[in-house]
Amino acid sequence: MVKDDDRSQVMKQIDANLRKVYQETLEQEIPERFQQLLERLKERDSGDDRG
């Protein structure tokens, strides 16, 4: 059976690794193709305001 201390250490390690991966994901740039799509959608939305 796994001891509580061992389980606690494993949980801390998992937590640290998840935080690291999440932070790395936040720091990634948005791909150019996605930026272009967002720009096209923004332009289309601003064109709809003419009503």
pLDDT over threshold 70, residue 50: no
Q: How far is CA 47 from the centre of its chain?
A: 30
* Residue 15: pLDDT band with limits 50, 70, 90: very high
Alpha carbon separation from 7 to 2, 19, 46, 51 (Å, rounded):
6, 18, 54, 61
| CA gap 4, 42 in Å, rounded | 53
Enclosing domain of residue 40: 4-48
Average of per-residue pLDDT values in the chain: 90
Angle at 28 between CA 24 and CA 34, to 5 degrees: 145
Over residues 17-38, the pLDDT tens digits come to 999 999 999 999 999 999 999 9
Please give the single-letter amino acid code of residue 28: Q
pTM of the predicted model, to two decimals?
0.54
